[in-house]
């Protein structure tokens, strides 16, 4: 993302990773807001109270005119269908951040270390068998080149129910076998009856396969007790080669 911003927009970005869980992030953000510490130019805000406090502080930029001038028409059309999305970010008819729209956060994307794929000349996986081959290589073939057995193919947040709609959620692995019948959600079957996705046969197949990967050491061994923020850190610190996450659009921008 930082390279793309520099290549396409001429913006050189410096990223600050706070680490820890969501509560830790909010604490640091509030300390920066109430103290003399500078806020980043762009940063996510996850709670409506924090958003309100940011706007009230006067330290975030009114981007109403920027949205009108720079937002692509195809994105504007989506937001016009979900006007309530912007309610928490609006005060006196002015907007102070880019809202997280449901239509822009549906589904997961898989983020894979391209440099780790290049070394054994692997392609990005397109199915479960290819995914298994990739995480096996990421674990056993020394992808970071340090000569030590200290990497694993995949990490995720397993400390809560799958399909949380948050980062490091492996729900896309379940949908590979169950389609739309993913864990933690209700769906109508072909007869119009409600079905709970967690008990779909395809999800059992995914769990069995993940158990085999865990047994082989191809996924993070403590994933079942790992939260989303810690899972992300394992990826960003170069310990895991693959992580799933949603697209997110929430941000606020400070005055230049």
CA 14 – CA 2 distance, rounded (Å) = 8
pLDDT tens digits, 37-92: 788 888 888 778 889 999 999 999 999 999 999 998 988 888 888 788 888 899 99
Kindly tell me if the per-residue pLDDT of 15 is higher than 80.
no
CA 162 – CA 175 distance, rounded (Å) = 11
**Token digits for 171?**
């729900």
Q: Where are the domains of the chain?
A: 39-104, 108-246
Query: How far separated are the first and last CA of the chain, in Å rounded?
Result: 21
Which contiguous run of DSSP H or E holds residue 176? helix 171-178
Query: Which pLDDT band, with edges at 50, 70 and 90, does 208 fall under?
Result: very high
| SS3 (DSSP) at 250 | coil
pTM exceeding the 0.85 threshold for the entire prediction: no
pLDDT tens digits, 86-120: 888 999 999 999 887 655 445 567 889 999 999 88
108-246 maps to which CATH number? Answer: 3.40.190.10
């Amino acid at each position: 993302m930082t390279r793309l911003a520099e290549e396409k927009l001429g913006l050189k970005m410096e990223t600050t990773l706070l680490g820890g869980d969501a509560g830790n992030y909010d604490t640091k953000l509030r300390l920066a807001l109430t103290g003399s510490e500078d806020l980043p130019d762009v940063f996510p805000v996850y709670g409506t109270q924090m958003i309100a406090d940011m706007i009230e502080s006067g330290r975030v930029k009114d981007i109403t005119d920027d949205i009108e001038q720079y937002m692509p028409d195809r994105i504007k059309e989506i937001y016009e269908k979900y006007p309530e999305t912007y309610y928490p970010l609006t005060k006196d008819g002015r907007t102070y951040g880019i809202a997280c729209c449901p239509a822009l956060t549906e589904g997961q994307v898989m983020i894979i270390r391209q440099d780790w794929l290049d070394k054994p000349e692997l392609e990005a996986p397109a199915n479960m068998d290819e995914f298994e081959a990739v995480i096996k290589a990421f674990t056993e073939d020394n992808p970071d080149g340090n000569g030590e057995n200290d990497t694993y193919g995949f990490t995720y947040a397993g400390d809560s129910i799958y399909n949380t709609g948050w980062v490091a959620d492996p729900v896309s692995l379940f949908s590979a076998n169950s389609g739309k019948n993913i864990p933690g959600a209700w769906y109508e079957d072909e007869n119009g009856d409600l079905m709970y996705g967690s008990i779909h046969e395809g999800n059992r197949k995914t769990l069995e396969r993940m158990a085999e990967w865990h047994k082989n050491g191809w996924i993070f061994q403590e994933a079942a007790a790992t939260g989303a923020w810690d899972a992300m850190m394992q990826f960003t610190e170069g310990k895991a080669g693959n992580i799933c996450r949603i697209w997110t659009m929430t941000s606020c921008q400070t005055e230049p």
